[in-house]
Structure 1
Amino acid sequence: MSFDHRKYRPAAQIAIPDRQWPSRVITSAPDWCSVDLRDGNQALVEPMTVQQKLRMWDLLVKLGFKEIEVGFPSASQPDFDFVRALIDGDRIPDDVTIQVLVQAREELIVRSFEALRGAKKAIVHVYNSTSPVQRERVFGMDKAGITAIAVQGAKWVRDYAAQNPDTEWSFQYSPESFSSTEVDYAVEICDAVIEQWRDSGRPLIINLPATVECATPNIFADQVEYFCRNSRYRSDYRVSIHTHNDRGCGVAAAELAVMAGADRIEGTLLGNGERTGNMDIVTMAMNLYSQGVDPKLDFSNMDEIIAVVEHCTTIPLHPRHPYAGDLVFTAFSGSHQDAIKKCMARQRDDEHWQVAYLPIDPADLNRSYEAVIRINSQSGKGGVAWVLENDFGLQMPRWLQIDASRKVQAEAEARSGELSPKQIWSVFEDNYLAVSEHCALHDYSLRQNNDKHGGRDQLTLHFNQFGSEIAVTGTGEGAISALVNGWRQRFGDTVEIIDYSEHAMNSGTESLAIAYILLSINGQRYIGIARHRDVVSASLQAVINAAAQSLHQRQEQEEVLESQAG
């Protein structure tokens, strides 16, 4: 057989008969370090532009990251320029430390310190490969030779930091491919590095990467616990973890590593990274959140996170991605829907969350409860919604995000390229805001609390229908309800309001209101959107814009029937 498992061998077990990590519980969040701008960026087919990097940087700072790896400036001129842009542009908050990666080579270390000149706080992250396959087949060196590289790199980092005393330096060392390295040798080489740094007075980090995930998470936890228990200088540094997802267990390995003694986690938002990806910080942090542990990161606006990550990486999010995907809070099964409704009806604000099929409250991620039952589209809408909200002030309901993203995607496919924010707005305006060709609101009068109609509001409205002015009169609990009721009477349609919302597009006396409405007319759904300086006028025009589509379809059908009859 060509598919022959015998060509592989199982991972080596770690001899810890009294291992402690299985009985431990995570009660506080680890320190987080985002590597989106370095590891995540280098994994992209098309690396981020400067504008995309800055957008990602701003998001990471907003979410609460205090340590951010910003690049590999000694190996990449764009990375060097980006680090300088952050420092020279004074874009780094005082409580945020930037980190750069560098190989244990003097000329590259010198270049890294040049990139970091003027930074208030910075971590220099030096590494070299330590696994047997790297030692023997890549470098052709024995353990002593590999250790000598690491020690010399540590000395260069220490000495060049001393020449730049205005920066608060931290030192970090990674035995690359730690998870494939003999664990006793990993302890030996890391202790040798720490010996060069422990008297420097600098904060120290030893990073233990699963550069390629090659074993079950429990074995990785054993490796970390063995390392922590056997290092001579464990109290001198933080243990950091950098797992990858080759076996699909990156998050699990990181969680067990924290139980085994790790203090710090490196990863990316939503798991972007080489091969199958890096450890997903969103998933791990939300796992903690779901257990009542403060993750110390703010993921309350998940749609914004998705939009920025998708825009910067050009990688769409899977609809079943933990916590973030469009479908993760959606119930298609009738029994699931019934259980969710009943639990949510009984859920009290003063008790712990107890809702069947929902491990967390969707509202905590700025998701609406309606998404649980009604949203069942796999459309990727985050990027479109983000652009329209941040550049044009729209706060679209989720059903509109889905519909708009489809139209924008169709336009992008027709153009065979990416759409600019201006082009996205043009698609939105052409499809939704253009007043119906045949049904434009002329005027209306509204009599509120009309005694003749049991205190209900009475609306009289005029609009243009195919060149003729038509009047609609109706009563209801508000202007929209009155118009819908009047439409039913005037045209004989079955009309239901599925969803409605409105908001101001900007602040001040010149602000425009925008209204969104989703109608069901004779069993078919129609979207209506309108802007106006007056919110009632915007709402009424939105209803007309939606209903006009039904009238137009009816006219076309009548013309076809007349043509066939003739």
Structure 2
Amino acid sequence: MNHSELIYDWNKQANGFDYGSCRVVLNDETLRDGLQSPSVIDPPMEAKVRLLHLMAGVGVRAADIGLPGAGPRVVEQVRILAREIVDQHLPIDPNCAARTVVADIQPIVDISQEVGLPIEAATFIGSSAIRQFTEGWTMDKMLRATEEAVTFAVGHGLPVMYVTEDTTRAQPETLRRLYATAIECGARRICLADTTGHATPAGVRALVRFVVEEIVEPSGEAVKVDWHGHRDRGLGIANCLAAIEAGVDRVHATALGIGERVGNAEMDLLIVNLYLLGALDQDLSGLVEYCQAASEATGVPIPASYPVVGSDAFRTATGVHAAAIIKARKKGD
């Protein structure tokens, strides 16, 4: 019997979305957002370079390689990673995080020009009312910061991804004004960030539809949309899939889900899900090494029960199930 006769896939009946036709890009945040976890080790440079190669081997096509505005040490690390991409012809488009201030963007400009590689400036600013209240920001101040940062980056030849932090708790009109300003100033990618892991899949779909239909399409510009999610409610992967189904172009995640607080969406699990859904045609033989390398480099252990790559992922201690596996193997399955 063939596979389709043995297994009926109800997932394909769910909502009519054709994953096989989507062309979503994966952006790996392990080397930046992943290292904001309070429990990780900051890996040595050779480990970061190795992870960059392993990312490319599992289908990742974009990666955040650091926040050079943090200081000279990070600037040098970003320079090394960017040069590695150039010298080794890695199929990865790099980006660097930056606050919406010129001082954070200038080192990205310098590194980009030095290594001869376009580096996307991922300029971010808080967008929720609670963040505005905490910081004492006015809308005018946020709009000025957005305009100055995006204009500076674009004027110096950098592609820009404009990121609104805490998008999933922000007012629609605030998002409309911030994104519209960034797009008018030349940003051709915007990122919706679930910074506190607040969103549900239904909320993600509503947010993406709003941004695409009410902001991106009326702009008349070819603006790409990214999704960046955390897993505080345990919905990281579910929200990534919801964002893809709603029409985003790129999704962010980290190896093993490492990241601030309880972490980001898990890149390895996202890759497996996209592969099983038909959205990713990729040799995944390097996935275990990718996860193990991330674990070793950051000091984050892989639980035995972790899906796909955990030591118990394909083991059972149940007699009935073990017997069924033995019977299947005897039949060549």
Which TM bucket (shorter chain)? 0.7 to 0.9
CA 160–29 in structure 1, closer or farther in 2 if over 3 Å, else same: closer
Which residue is equivalent to 2:244? 258
CA deviation map 1:47-91 (0-9, x unaligned) = 122122122122223333221111001113222111222345554
CA deviation map 1:457-513 (0-9, x unaligned) = xxxxxxxxxxxxxxxxxxxxxxxxxxxxxxxxxxxxxxxxxxxxxxxxxxxxxxxxx
Matched, 1:151 2:147: yes
> Relative contact order: is structure 1 or structure 2 higher (C-alpha 8 Å, sep ≥ 6)?
2
CA-atom RMSD in angstroms: 2.2
Aligned mate of 2:17, from 11, 24, 43: 24
Percent identity between the two aligned chains: 21
Aligned mate of 2:69, from 74, 83, 88: 74
Q: Which has the higher strand share?
A: 1
TM-score by length of 1: 0.52
Partners of 1:65 and 1:297 within 8 A in 2:
no
For structure 2, list consecutive stretches of 5 or more residues without a partner in the other structure. Answer: 1-13
List 4+ stretches of structure 1 deviating above 6 A. none
Matched, 1:185 2:170: no
For structure 1, list consecutive stretches of 5 or more residues without a partner in the other structure. Answer: 1-20, 162-168, 199-203, 349-566
Matched, 1:335 2:328: no
Which residue is equivalent to 2:199? 215
Partners of 1:39 and 1:273 within 8 A in 2:
yes
The CA distance in 1 between the partners of 2:156 and 2:325, in whole Å, is 60
The CA distance in 2 between the partners of 1:121 and 1:215, in whole Å, is 32
The CA distance in 1 between the partners of 2:17 and 2:219, in whole Å, is 23
Q: Which has the higher helix share?
A: 2
CA 88–254 in structure 1, closer or farther in 2 if over 3 Å, else same: closer
The CA distance in 1 between the partners of 2:90 and 2:266, in whole Å, is 26
TM-score by length of 2: 0.87
Select the structure of larger CA radius of gyration: 1
The CA distance in 2 between the partners of 1:92 and 1:182, in whole Å, is 44
Given residue 60 of structure 2, which amino acid in structure 1 is its aligned partner?
F
The CA distance in 1 between the partners of 2:16 and 2:198, in whole Å, is 24
Given residue 302 of structure 2, which amino acid in structure 1 is its aligned partner?
L
1:125-140 mapped onto 2 (5 Å cutoff): 125-138=122-135, 140=136
CA 77–188 in structure 1, closer or farther in 2 if over 3 Å, else same: same
Partners of 1:38 and 1:70 within 8 A in 2:
yes
Matched, 1:61 2:39: no
Given residue 146 of structure 1, which amino acid in structure 2 is its aligned partner?
M
The CA distance in 1 between the partners of 2:332 and 2:272, in whole Å, is 21
Which residue is equivalent to 1:320? 305
| Secondary structure, aligned partner of 2:309 | coil
Given residue 182 of structure 1, which amino acid in structure 2 is its aligned partner?
Q
Residue 237 of structure 1: how far off its partner (Å): 1.4
Partners of 2:19 and 2:279 within 8 A in 1:
no
| Secondary structure, aligned partner of 1:146 | helix
Which residue is equivalent to 1:194? 183
140-149 or 123-132: bigger deviation: 140-149
| Secondary structure, aligned partner of 1:38 | coil
Partners of 2:93 and 2:119 within 8 A in 1:
yes
Aligned mate of 1:50, from 33, 45, 50: 45
